[in-house]
Amino acid sequence: MMTQNIFKFPAKSEWQSLLTRPTLEKKNLRELVQDIFSEVKLNGDSALQDFSEKFDGVKIEQFSVSNEEIENASAEVSEDLKNAIKQAKDNILKFHNSQKNEINKIETQPGISCWRESRAIENVGLYIPGGTAPLFSTILMLAIPAKIAGCKNIILCTPPQKDGKINPVILFTAQLCGVEKIYKVGGAQAIAALTFGTETVPKVDKIFGPGNQYVTAAKELAVDNGVAIDMPAGPSEVLVIADSSANPEFCAADLLSQAEHGIDSQVIFIATDETIFEKTLEEINLQVEELPRNEIAKKALENSRFILLDSVENALEFSNLYAPEHLILSIENPENYIDLIVNAGSVFLGNYSPEAAGDYATGTNHTLPTNGFARNYSGVSLDSFVKKITFQNLTEIGLKNIGKSVELMAEAEGLFAHKNAVSLRLKSLENGI
């Protein structure tokens, strides 16, 4: 553990410097990605083929995954893993099903009904990174709410392996979730394909999913081209708050499970008990050595902060300023502190709620706002896959009740045709037509 990352009872005036995140060397990829977009827009599939050869080192003749490939995949996944994925699916389904809204018609005044109805975004694109560790869990997090919402076309893009195939766990999970349109294309070119459509890959209305810096830059460009995205991207992070009831072994494991994500991950540990604090630091040093990805985790720990504060209230004040993606409360009676939480993506309460549980299987979504975006964005939920359309129905009485007000306000804004649309109707009602 770097001693320069340890802060004991820092004054609030010093907090600002502790709230900084590792600055990303944000290369300007815009131009490069713009070129990829232009190419894909112009040349469609043939551009995708070129980029796959160039970036993924593989020649793809047929981007769409065949039914045969999907069916064969299942045989390559162990029954244990399949059952695990199914259990996760059930929980995610249950929680996201509970996010449906009843239609709630309100009579704002006699004769004026107003309500909202949800409609699925018709065409959604799910981007799933490939590479050595296939993030099949992200398929669960995106495809399940898309299905509940009733999205008509769920398009999954994921980069092919060197052998031109897709990892079987990805195919199994996609099939389990009812995703039928899977394409072997990754990187910025996949986002471009989803933005414009090609002969093979359909154009979508909204793009979801994580990715490297090229994918991130491409998603920003997709927005400029009228496609919505789930949320802005950034490195992953966790903030753990521990009091004397915490278990240092668990705290260390939770901090490391975030640190292993990438060298730009950040973990923040705040303890209110000095013994727990010291023991957790020791545990981190022990556990990190055992990890296959310990090089990554050690790098991430260099970005990290270990802070001793005098109360849980102060710890939460710090946490709200930091706005962590994940917040773990390893404290006694965590439910008593919930109202103090203002900015966070997902919160884990108590000693038996590790972040890893929520990453996979509690039922909550793991696509969450990072990089301080928990201040202004929610994580992915059923809401992310629908629009809410407002409806209003005015009876003659309803229009009479607000007609005069609308006329006055329209006139004051200088919009006389707006006024007229009401005046004509009021007049016809007076005339008893």
Tell me how far apart the alpha carbons of residues 72 and 171 are, in angstroms, rounded to a whole number. 9
Q: Is 196 near its own copies (CB under 8 A)?
A: no
Is 326 one of the annotated binding-site residues? yes
Please, which residue, 64 or 333, has the CB nearer to its own copies? 333
Site string for its own copies, 88-107 (x = CB under 8 A): x-xx--xx--xx-x--x-x-
Is 366 one of the annotated binding-site residues? no
Q: Is 183 near its own copies (CB under 8 A)?
A: no
Residue among 297, 307, 309, 331 that touches its own copies (CB under 8 A):
297
96 is catalytic: no
Taking the alpha carbons of 162, 163, 168, 171 in that order, is the dihedral positive or negative? positive
Strands 228-229 and 206-208: parallel
Tell me which residues in 2-31 interact with its own copies (CB under 8 A).
none
Maximum CA pair distance of the chain? Answer: 87
Tell me how far apart the alpha carbons of residues 333 and 48 are, in angstroms, rounded to a whole number. 54
The total of other beta-carbon atoms located within 10 Å of residue 202's CB is 14
Per DSSP, 359 falls in state H
302 is catalytic: no
Total binding residues toward its own copies, as defined by CB under 8 A:
134
Tell me which residues in 238-267 interact with its own copies (CB under 8 A).
247, 249-250, 253-254, 256-257, 259-261
Give the DSSP H/E element, type plus range, for residue 191.
helix 187-196
Please, which residue, 79 or 163, has the CB nearer to its own copies? 79
Is 237 one of the annotated binding-site residues? no
Tell me which residues in 369-388 interact with its own copies (CB under 8 A).
369, 371-379, 381, 383, 386-388
CB under 8 A, 24+ apart: contacts of 98-105: 99/145, 99/381, 99/382, 99/383, 100/148, 100/382
- Cα(first)–Cα(last) distance of the chain, in Å? 83
The residue behind tokens 């830059």 is 217
Q: Is 428 near its own copies (CB under 8 A)?
A: yes
Per DSSP, 64 falls in state B
Residue-by-residue DSSP string for 201-223 = SPP-SEEE----HHHHHHHHHHH
Residue among 3, 4, 25, 226 that touches its own copies (CB under 8 A):
226
Minimal distance, residue 308 CB to its own copies, in Å: 22
Identify the active-site residue in 96, 237, 326, 407.
Answer: 326
Tell me which residues in 335-374 interact with its own copies (CB under 8 A).
335, 338, 341-365, 368-369, 371-374
Site string for its own copies, 396-415 (x = CB under 8 A): x-xx--xxxxx-xxx-xxxx
Among the listed ranges 130-138, 176-184, 190-198, 274-282, the one in contact with its own copies (CB under 8 A) is: 130-138
Q: What's the chain's length in residues?
A: 433
Tell me how far apart the alpha carbons of residues 8 and 310 are, in angstroms, rounded to a whole number. 9
Is 183 one of the annotated binding-site residues? no
- Cα 189 → chain centroid: 21
Catalytic residues: 325-326
Binding-site residues sit at 127, 189, 212, 236, 258, 261, 326, 359, 413, 418
Binding-site residues for NAD(+) sit at 127, 189, 212
Binding-site residues for Zn(2+) sit at 258, 261, 359, 418
